């Protein structure tokens, strides 16, 4: 069976979620500075993620979950996932307590990071998802894996997948993602056409 593994932010959603959280809670400057440094390769993704969660983890998780439940998604992509639910998964570094409602709306299995909760706040990261581990798992079960992503933290998973698609439908994919991609798609219709050809 072919398994389709999607990055979440900017691939299924029309916006990156961490900047939305930061804007809502007025901590934009700190998050943007970290995000810029991460994209530029000055701060490793894992370190950046830990630092961003340290800032955002002090905020009410239930309010973040409610906020992200309203994030716009790409209709055609979500329709594809609904039609092929058993073949589709999400792999995101985002925290389960923040994206639970959003993932439920998309309606497929979601692999994500997790944290220890206390009084509706994240007090400690317990798991940081490595997306390539999901690819390895599916391949070990005998599946052909198609990975769709756009960021530096997708590169290893894309490299290991049987087919890698760099998605440029929200913003330009990271150069690393483009370098390992078999396909580059720049709009939602083209992505869905490509996915249907790979079924």
Whether pTM exceeds 0.85 = yes
Average pLDDT over residues 157-177: 95
Helix (H) or strand (E) holding 145: strand 144-149
* 58/100 same-domain check: no
Weakest mean pLDDT among 36-45, 53-62, 155-164:
36-45
- The string of DSSP codes covering 117-134 is EETTEEEEEEE---HHHH
pLDDT in tens, 113-151: 999 999 999 999 999 999 999 999 999 999 999 999 998
* 89/145 same-domain check: yes
| Domain with 26 in it | 18-66
Average pLDDT over residues 50-67: 94
178: domain CATH number is 3.40.50.1000
* 132/56 same-domain check: no
Number of domains in the chain: 2
* 156/192 same-domain check: yes
Using alpha carbons, list the distances in angstroms from residue 33 to 4, 27, 175. 32, 11, 20
End-to-end CA distance of the chain: 9
* 185/153 same-domain check: yes
Q: How far apart are CA 90 and CA 111, in angstroms?
A: 6
pLDDT band per the 50, 70, 90 thresholds, residue 39: low
In a domain, 88, yes or no: yes
* 40/94 same-domain check: no
Please name the residues in contact with 187: beta carbons below 8 A apart, sequence gap of 6 or more.
169
* 87/43 same-domain check: no
Please name the residues in contact with 195: beta carbons below 8 A apart, sequence gap of 6 or more.
4, 80, 146, 148, 165
pLDDT, the chain, mean: 94
């Amino acid at each position: 069976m072919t398994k389709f593994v999607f990055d979440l932010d900017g691939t299924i959603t029309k916006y990156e979620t961490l900047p939305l959280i930061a804007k809502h809670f007025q901590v934009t400057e700190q998050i943007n500075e970290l995000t810029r440094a991460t994209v530029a390769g000055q701060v490793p993704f894992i370190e950046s993620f830990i630092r961003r969660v340290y800032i955002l983890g002090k905020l009410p998780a239930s309010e973040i979950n409610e906020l992200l439940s309203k994030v716009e998604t790409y209709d055609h992509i979500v329709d594809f996932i609904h039609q092929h639910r058993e073949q589709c998964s999400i792999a995101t570094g985002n925290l389960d307590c923040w994206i639970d409602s959003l993932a439920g709306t998309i309606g497929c299995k979601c692999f994500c990071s997790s944290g220890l909760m206390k009084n509706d706040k994240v007090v400690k990261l317990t798991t940081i998802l490595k997306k390539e581990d999901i690819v390895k798992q599916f391949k070990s079960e005998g599946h052909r894996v198609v990975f769709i992503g756009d960021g530096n933290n997708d590169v290893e998973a894309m490299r290991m997948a049987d087919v890698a698609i760099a998605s440029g439908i929200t913003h330009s994919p990271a150069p690393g993602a483009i370098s390992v991609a078999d396909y580059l798609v720049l709009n939602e219709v083209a992505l869905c056409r490509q996915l249907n050809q790979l079924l």
